[in-house]
Amino acid sequence: MPTNEEFMAELEAREAKIKEMGGSEPVKKQHAQNKLTARERIDLLFDPGTFVETGMHVKHHCHSFGLDKTEIPADGVVTGYGKVNDRTVCCYAQDFTSRGGSLGEMHASKIARTMDLAAKMRVPMVGIQDTGGARIQEGVSALDGYGQIFHRNTLYSGIIPQITLSMGPCAGGAVYSPALTDWVFMVNGSSYMYVTGPDVVKAVMSEEVTHEQLGGAMTHNAKSGVAHFAYDSDAECIEGCKHLLTYLPRSVYDKPDSTYQEPTDSPDRTCPELDTIIPEDPRTVYDMKQIIRAIVDDGEFLEPHQHYALNMIVCFARFNGHVVGIIANQPSYMAGVLDINASDKAARFIRFCDAFNIPVVTLVDVPGYLPGTQQEFGGVIRHGAKILSAYSEATVPKITICTHKAYGGSEVSMCSRSVGADIYMAWPCAELAVMGAEGAAAIIFRRDIAKAPDPEAKRQEVAELYRKTFNNPYVAASGGYIDQIIKARDTRREIIVALESLLNKKEDRPWKKHGNIPL
């Protein structure tokens, strides 16, 4: 019978062996590729000394292709829970140094169990992916493992925030777990996500493309919109994830932590610089981010999708310490028009905020939906409808501020009163109308302009008449579509008053299984 000391020594020896992961050579190779190991990543993510590893001694059950003679430490994935910024988070990190972090039956079951634990604990789940995909030797058991994960990604969507850090190769079906999570982070030069890699693309499509072009961080951050954040190193990426977590509640049963960052910025602070931010010459533009920076606490906001659909801004920020999601048109890019990608970007963000009890503040300066065959053939009707659906469905506090233009269908889409804004404010220069004055006048006064001795002078005269009559906030306010007309300088203060009054808002919807958002 071994002594107690021997029992402990055996445990320590086993743990030490497992912590060596795939051994010194694969670890060296990992570092040479500018990648940290799974355990180094976990050390950076969690507050020191708080990570509890589960399933460390799990082994695979595969007997094919010599795998029965092979030990895969922790079966290629480190799982567990600990504290991030002093709040519990569950995590898995695939270990590429151990058989390429390939996913077999037990590897998958460790991940699935950790996801179940996160749901029971009601805390966020962070998945760090670095994998050669399904473990080829395990065949269909590996595919079933992926299915188990996708199923849980879906079941727990809207229950706990789910974050993927894609920090290495991630191919085939493996990309679908990230796609099912709320936020995808990538690292420039070392993470790749694609359904089929460059070799298959060449064979099937005769297209020559590099890993980076096909599925690198900027491809997914700027072109496909699959990823939300891009960083230059693993360490920065993990820091970015920790920063995002400060804005999120633990689960649907919780609210964002308003005490995380004690407010130092006065709720009564005015922003006089905003009184002149809207250019008087309609041909000049301004940057909506200047407005956001001016009104939020300490000028700080976190912007997912900052490289994608630049005509739409989505970001997290705080007002007097309260976390909000901001959705804003960007007039300095494509005049802030709504198109397919901007609609998808905004709708998904609104739905995330609503799912996790984060109030939404909408800043409106929008000329309309982008016309043309490219947009129509791409389904701008269906995609544009997503914003309407997302705002109408959202029951969190909704505050809208129209800074300038709000024309036509896009006026309705950008959280108008009709789709559920609780408080709608407008600046004195706001124009809520069916369309811009020039366009409107050219249609309804077409005959008068044609008959006039000086058509151009007539065009300007009738446009001015239309502008005075309709393109100001007072017509909309007289119809009750605007609650307050405020000076731009008071925007921060008025948002905080509205937000704090709405924090206990409760709005119910009739029971149904689920809606059918136009996907």
User: Three-class SS of residue 342?
Assistant: helix
CB of 440 to ligand HXC, least distance (A): 52
Rounded to the nearest 10 degrees, how much is the dihedral formed by the CA atoms of 129, 130, 131, 132?
140
Q: Per CB under 6 A, does 172 bind ligand HXC?
A: yes
Near ligand HXC by CB under 6 A: residue from 46, 146, 194, 231 = 146
135 contributes a contact to ligand HXC by CB under 6 A: yes
Residue 165 lies near ligand HXC (rule: CB under 6 A): no
Task: Write b or e for each residue in 457-487: b if 16 or more Cβ atoms lie within 10 A of its Cβ, otherwise e.
Answer: ebbebbbeebbeebbbbeebbeeebbbebbe
Radius of gyration of the chain (CA): 27
Contact call for residue 475 and ligand HXC (CB under 6 A)? no
- C-alpha count within 13 angstroms, C-beta hemisphere, residue 17: 11
Task: Select 168 or 304, whichever has its Cβ closest to ligand HXC.
Answer: 168
Q: Which is nearer to ligand HXC, 102 or 221 (CB)?
A: 102
The residues with which 127 forms a beta bridge, in sequence order, are 92, 164
Q: At what angle do helices 38-45 and 234-245 cross, to 10 degrees?
A: 40
Local structure of 454: helix, strand or coil: coil
Q: Which is nearer to ligand HXC, 146 or 319 (CB)?
A: 146
Complex with ligand HXC: residue 25 or 281, whichever CB lies closer: 25
305 binds ligand HXC (CB under 6 A): no
Q: Identify the bridge partners of residue 399 per DSSP, sorted by sequence position.
A: 361, 423
Does 336 help bind ligand HXC (rule: CB under 6 A)? no
Minimal distance, residue 143 CB to ligand HXC, in Å:
5
Instruction: Find the binder of ligand HXC among 91, 115, 128, 134 (CB under 6 A).
Output: 134
The reply to whether 215 sits near ligand HXC by the rule CB under 6 A is no
Q: Per rule CB under 6 A, is residue 126 in the interface with ligand HXC?
A: no
Q: Is there binding between residue 73 and ligand HXC (CB under 6 A)?
A: no
> Residues 84-123: x/- map of binding to ligand HXC (CB under 6 A)?
---------------xx-x---------------------
Interaction of residue 35 with ligand HXC, rule CB under 6 A: no
Other CB atoms within a 10 A radius of the CB of residue 197 amount to: 17
Reduced to 3 states (helix: H, G, I; strand: E, B; else coil), residue 229 is strand
Nearer to ligand HXC, 169 or 215 (CB): 169
Comparing CA positions, the residue from 387, 307, 309, 394 lying closest to residue 348 is 387
**10 Å Cβ neighbour count for 314?**
26
Contact call for residue 173 and ligand HXC (CB under 6 A):
yes
Residue carrying the six token digits 């006064």: 445
Q: How far is the CB of 246 from ligand HXC (least distance, A)?
A: 33
Give the 3-state secondary structure of residue 80: strand
**What is the binding site for ligand HXC (CB under 6 A)?**
99-100, 102, 132-136, 143, 146, 169, 171-174
